[in-house]
Amino acid sequence: MRQSILLTAVLSTLSFAQVSYAAEEAKEEKSAWAATANVGFVSDYYARGISQNWHKPAVQGGIDITHDSGFYVGAWGSNVTPNTFPDATAEIDIYGGYNGTIPAIEGLGWTAGLISYLYPGGSWKKYNLAGDAAGFRQTPKGGRWDTTEVNFGLSYSYFSARLSYTLTDWFGAERDTGWDGSTKGTTYLEFNVAYPLPWWELTLIGHVGQLNVNGKLNTQADFSAIGGGAGPSTSITGASSPDYIDYKIGLSKPFKIGASEGWTAGLYYVGASNREYWGENGYGGASFNGSTQTKDLNEGRAVFTLSRTF
C-alpha cells in the first residue's frame, strides 16, 4: 500500500510536471502573437495636413494584432465631420500587412500593407451644397467616400519613408462626382523622423508629405439633367487641383499616471499648402452638407494629442 501510494504520488508529480510543461509550451507558442489597444484624444484631427473634423476635437481608438513573423492587422476609428463627409460621423480604418528587415544592411527595415478608409453611411449621393429642405443633391449618382490604398515603406534608424497608392478612386472622386475622370492611382509620398532627445524622454517628430491626385475637379460638370447641380461647387477661387505638400513638427513624451503606464502626450504644428483649393474660398474648404460655412482645412495650427496604449 505504501509503495502504491508513493508510486501514485510520483506519477502524479510527473504528470503535473508534464502538464505544466505543456502549458508553458502553449504559452510560449501564443507569445508569438501580441495584441494592443489604444485610445486617444486630439484637439483637431488632422490627416495628411487636412483637418477631418472641421477644426474640432476628436476621440479615437483602435486595436492592433502582430506576429513575430512581421505580420500585422488592425482597426482604428475616429469621429469626423459630416460637413466634409455627408451623413458620416465616423471614419473606420481596416489595415494589415508585413514588416521586415533587410539583412544586408543592419538597421534597414521595410513594410508593405493595405488599408481601407471607411465612412459608414457617407456617400457623394448625399452631397447637399445648397441646404435645400427638399433634399436637393448636387451629385445624385455619386458613390461612397470609402478608399483603399496599398503602401510600401523603408525605415532606417530614426527615419522612414512610405509611398501610398490608391487602388480605388480617391475618396470617391470620379466623373459622377464632378471630376475629369477616375482618380485611381493617386499617390501620397511621405518622409518621417522620430528622434529621441536627451531631455525628459522627449522625442522630436518631423513629417513632410506630398499628395498627387490622379485627376482634377471638372468645374464645368453639369448634373442638372439628372436632378443634380450645374457644376460641382461654388468655389470662388476656381482651383481644380487638390495637390499639396503637408508638414508636421513637434514633440511627444511618454508618461505615467500613478501606476498606469502607456500614456503619451504630443504637441505638434501641422498644416498644408494649396489654400486656393483647401481654403475657405476653395472647393475643399466648403461644406458638402447643406451648410454655408467654410473653413481653411489646411490652415497651420498647433494640435495637442493625448493617448494611451494597453
| Helix, coil or strand: residue 23 | helix
pLDDT per residue of the chain (310 residues) written in tens, 0 to 9: 433 333 333 333 334 344 444 445 555 556 799 999 999 999 999 999 999 999 999 999 999 999 999 999 999 999 999 999 988 999 999 999 999 999 999 999 999 999 999 999 999 988 887 665 555 778 888 899 999 999 999 999 999 999 999 999 999 999 999 899 999 999 999 999 999 999 999 999 999 999 999 999 988 888 877 777 766 666 788 889 999 999 999 999 999 998 888 999 999 999 999 999 999 999 999 888 888 889 999 999 999 999 999 9
- Asked if 153 contacts 163 with a C-beta cutoff of 8 angstroms, the reply is yes
Q: What is the CA radius of gyration of the chain?
A: 25
Cα 299 to its chain centre, rounded Å, is 19
| Residue found under cell 522630436 | 204
CA-nearest of 121, 126, 162, 165 to 147 is 165
Instruction: Look at the pTM and tell me if it is higher than 0.85.
Output: yes
| Helix, coil or strand: residue 190 | strand
